[in-house]
Structure 1
Amino acid sequence: MSGADALLRLTGDLGDVGDVGDRDRSVLGGKAVGLAALLRVGAVIPDTWVVPVGADPTAAALARLAAVAPRWAVRSSATVEDGTGLSYAGLFRSELDVPAGELAEAIAAVRASAHSGRVAAYRERTTAGSPDVEMAVLLQPFRPPVRSGLWLGRGPGRGRLEWTAGSGETLVSGAVTPAWEEWTPEGRTAGSEADAWESGGQPVGTACAMLQEALGVPADLEFAQLDGTLLWLQFRPMTAALGEAPGERAHQPGDQPGDQRGDQRGDQPGDERADECSDGRADDGEQVVRGIAASGGLATARGLRLRDVDDPRWEPGAVLLTEHTDPDWVPLMAEAAALVTAEGGMLCHAAIVARELGVPCVTGVGAAALARLGSGRPLAVDGSAGTVAVL
């Protein structure tokens, strides 16, 4: 690693990054430590500069970056982020597609997010007495991706792959219900599409499983497809067990196109695929809505549908119903009996945070089903099965 004017550069030279490890969190932050781990196992990451904790890059240093690329991604790398116990997934600010002339302002905004109310609420629920949050910042040239993906591992050769077209922001925020695949050591066992997602002539799920094996732990990976190649953006160890995926409509290996099984297709955002079966009834006559099993556990409480995080109707202990969440919803998530969203998958930030908070969560139920659940009647949420029953 080389540095000048309070900027350090991560490169593909193992001599530069081979000694970067968890002990460097206090200076480089967790996301930088994860990128160094990816480099050590041969993964391709973006060109990355780090603004260390407490450092202030000079105008001259930032001007040199303007000669590297016209637009930038400015990402958080907090000292507590992407750890083995807690991820802080999505809680800190990142700025994408930032003009080179506005890097200083974006760095300041990312740093300020270390002290937001959503971070405070998460820490109150999970990390009483933990060290203070400090913020390093990552700078990476920005290129719009063709596709963006997430992988969460369950063990050797096993994991869940989700993806969407274009930017990963809609994927990680839960603003879309993604396409998905399930992988085991035998290969792809199910998915929303007839064929596996491939890049460079190889299934992406295979690439994720191989990288996970090289890292040596069940991995939470974020990556982008650019011009037929994969660029790895983030690695963190899994912080909470990922449940299985019951009830999803899947293409099994050998199915013909158009074959549908289960209850979830992973079609394009905006359709009401999950609502096709949401009028079904359980054996005891309860109305049951089916979605994606995002965070395990059982909860029974009145459902309350909110469109705004500042809605004064919110009641702690209710089932929080919303189209999708962004990190500003974390204070409400921490108070909720359960969370149900119209969009999103098993790997979006809301699902990851719900698992860490121990809040049952069902995502991707569809807009029409969410409206029916918002009648004010008590709901029974089963985050392990991906069902919500109206009582």
Structure 2
Amino acid sequence: MIDLLDADPRLFSRMGGKAAGLSILTRHRQRVPPTAFLPADLVPQGGEADLAWLRRTGAQIAKWARARHIWHLAIRSSATVEDQEKHSYAGIFRSAFAPVTDDLIAAALADVVRSAVSPQRTAYEQGIGRSGSGELGVVVQATVPARSSGVAFGWRSGGQIHRMIEGTWGMSLDMVSGISRGDTLRSSSADTGSTSLRVHRKPLAVYPLVGREFRPGDAVVVDAHEPTEAKVVYVDEEAGLAYLRLGATAAECACISDDLAALIDDAIDATLPIHPSGVDIEWVEDPDGRLWLVQLRPLTATPDIPAPNRPRAPGLVTGEPGAPGRWRGPVSHPEKVTSYSAADGRVLVCGAARPELLPAIARAAAIVSSDGGMLCHVAIIARELGKPCVIGVPDADRLLPDDVIVEVDGTAGTVERVKATASVADAEAPEPKPTASGIVFRFPDDLGATTGPEPAVLVLTPYAPQSVVVGVAAVSSQTVVAACDTDQQTALRDAGWLPRGSAGTWRLYARDSVPDELVTRVTDEIVGGGATSWHA
């Protein structure tokens, strides 16, 4: 095991994504909790670890922690494939928590190692066109006693720095997993003191058991500076965590203060030069108001900002825009969607947007969730996979029963019921399934005038024959859109193409340099019928 502060820079390639991000934060003088890591070549692979290794490594970690007066630990994956520029693997691998005892640390290690092989990983890697690559390392980190915690995104667009912060009281485990919602703060560098803060009820908070014994029913004070009473509802002894129900006043109070927001903004500004495409930060505010950064990774896809005055109409429900694009199809709930193929175009409607639902997400064409926020793991993954997603729709699983036809608009954050019920055969996709051996879309000349000899946007359809791809060389200088089948996604991503949205049954890919305005216009042309198509 190697302490992060003692790590030789030449070990960077062996650290895995999470440890590498923390090492970068340390070198840039950001406040990071005491951290050590096990490179992948010191960790059993294949999802299993023998008891001797677990006991030996658990004792080694416990010794390291006690020497630093650490009494509670976060034990997290640090795979060589996660937290990369294109693929985050958000929530795919396990994070576990443990008090500093040899046996409990060993049990947490076993959970993390086991997560290297899972249905979630298989489904995610099938979606991104990768299979079984990369090895699992492990990060060991002191748990920061959290007054509040959460996630922050920062990215540049239109000459401005855009920031989005989500936070909750205590530890943000349930919030990042999509089980609960936190407060959301949005701002940009162009704002002159004005920000958009949305406060949600946060009745449940998670705190580490450090030097305290809690039992269900106990009344406790969770904030020494602003005494707030809470009641213990559940204690996870093995993880050393207490789940508390907050009083009404605390649950409805904003957890992101102006001072905290300023600290997080500074952290975003300091880390953006590291990842110019954008940063994804996990943060913790301790009881003294200090900010700690516990994870840094590149921002794989930027979220959409919902319009301030979204439409209201009968049959229309609203949430948060989790991932852009539109899709119309029949609803399926998690227990049924896996019985359909991806080509059936089902809309997954679920309660909590947990990463455990990834096998169902992989078979769905769009996702609607009643819980979670725009920065939770499932929303991140939906953006990476190019699947329209609306998150935080109240009572979605009750309002949208199986087989109801809905239109999901992941850009606006709305879901509309367009038909009471339907069979799979009349799923009502906006465009018919293409049957041509290949399709090319031609748009007005002015769209292609500045794109050069290569297409600016590539459109994928899941229905084209697998052997079909319209290559770059075959596309004229005045054609900005070409079509190919979904099996080409891996090659596209390797060539620098990124998922940028959806238009009906089509998936849109474009290089990062292509402006959003062009992608939007292409989308509008497809949806509005302004494009013409012919057999290639």
Q: TM-score, normalised by structure 1?
A: 0.80
Kindly report structure 1 stretches of 4+ aligned residues shifted beyond 3 Å. Answer: 56-60, 193-196, 198-202, 310-316
Q: Distance in 1 between matches of 2:339 and 2:258?
A: 44
Question: By how many angstroms is 1:165 displaced?
Answer: 1.1
Q: Distance in 2 between matches of 1:224 and 1:386?
A: 28
Residue pair 1:320, 1:340 contacting (<8 A) in 2 also: yes
Partner of 1:123: 125
- Describe the shift of the 1:300–1:125 C-alpha distance in structure 2 as closer, same or farther (beyond 3 A): same
Partner of 1:62: 61
Q: Distance in 1 between matches of 2:62 and 2:163?
A: 42
Q: Secondary structure at the match of 2:76?
A: strand
Q: Distance in 2 between matches of 1:66 and 1:202?
A: 31
Deviations 1:232-277 (A, max 9, x none): 0111111123222224xxxxxxxxxxxxxx47xxxxxxxxxxxxx9
Which of these residues, 363, 382, 398, is aligned with residue 354 of structure 1? 382
Partner of 2:233: none
Q: Secondary structure at the match of 2:15?
A: helix
Q: Secondary structure at the match of 2:63?
A: helix
Q: Secondary structure at the match of 1:289?
A: strand
Residue pair 2:370, 2:393 contacting (<8 A) in 1 also: yes
Which of these residues, 229, 237, 241, is aligned with residue 298 of structure 2? 237
Structure 1 unaligned runs (5+)?
1-6, 248-261, 264-276
Partner of 2:340: 315
Question: By how many angstroms is 1:171 displaced?
Answer: 1.3
- Describe the shift of the 1:201–1:342 C-alpha distance in structure 2 as closer, same or farther (beyond 3 A): closer
Does the alignment pair 1:222 with 2:216?
no
Q: Distance in 1 between matches of 2:188 and 2:12?
A: 34
Question: By how many angstroms is 1:99 displaced?
Answer: 4.2
Partner of 1:246: 307
Q: TM-score, normalised by structure 2?
A: 0.59
- Describe the shift of the 1:370–1:72 C-alpha distance in structure 2 as closer, same or farther (beyond 3 A): same
Does the alignment pair 1:376 with 2:403?
yes
Does the alignment pair 1:298 with 2:322?
no
Higher CA-based Rg:
2
Residue pair 2:58, 2:105 contacting (<8 A) in 1 also: no
Partner of 2:32: 45
Q: Distance in 2 between matches of 1:59 and 1:287?
A: 54
Structure 2 unaligned runs (5+)?
43-52, 200-252, 419-536
Q: Distance in 2 between matches of 1:212 and 1:9?
A: 22
Q: Distance in 2 between matches of 1:346 and 1:66?
A: 35
Partner of 1:339: 367
Residue pair 1:28, 1:52 contacting (<8 A) in 2 also: yes
Residue pair 1:196, 1:203 contacting (<8 A) in 2 also: no
Amino acid at match of 1:160: M
Q: CA RMSD in A?
A: 2.5
Question: By how many angstroms is 1:195 displaced?
Answer: 7.9
Q: Distance in 2 between matches of 1:196 and 1:103?
A: 31
Partner of 1:389: 416
Partner of 2:161: 157
Amino acid at match of 1:315: Y
Residue pair 1:9, 1:49 contacting (<8 A) in 2 also: yes
Identical columns (%): 31
Partner of 1:9: 3
Greater Cα shift, 289-298 or 69-78: 69-78
Partner of 2:9: 19
Question: By how many angstroms is 1:120 displaced?
Answer: 1.1
Partner of 1:106: 108
Residue pair 2:390, 2:410 contacting (<8 A) in 1 also: yes
Q: Distance in 2 between matches of 1:232 and 1:201?
A: 13
Question: By how many angstroms is 1:199 displaced?
Answer: 7.1
Question: By how many angstroms is 1:87 displaced?
Answer: 0.3
| Higher normalized contact order (CA 8 Å, seq sep 6+, divided by chain length) | 1
Residue pair 2:58, 2:109 contacting (<8 A) in 1 also: no
Residue pair 1:197, 1:204 contacting (<8 A) in 2 also: no
Which of these residues, 167, 170, 177, is aligned with residue 181 of structure 2? 177
Partner of 2:196: 190
Residue pair 1:72, 1:100 contacting (<8 A) in 2 also: no
Q: Distance in 2 between matches of 1:169 and 1:196?
A: 15
Residue pair 1:154, 1:241 contacting (<8 A) in 2 also: yes
Question: By how many angstroms is 1:64 displaced?
Answer: 1.0
Residue pair 1:48, 1:140 contacting (<8 A) in 2 also: yes
Deviations 1:272-314 (A, max 9, x none): xxxxx9xx41xxxx611111011001111111234xxx55875
Q: Secondary structure at the match of 1:381?
A: strand
Residue pair 1:31, 1:81 contacting (<8 A) in 2 also: yes
Deviations 1:21-52 (A, max 9, x none): xx834x21100010111112211111001012
Amino acid at match of 2:284: A
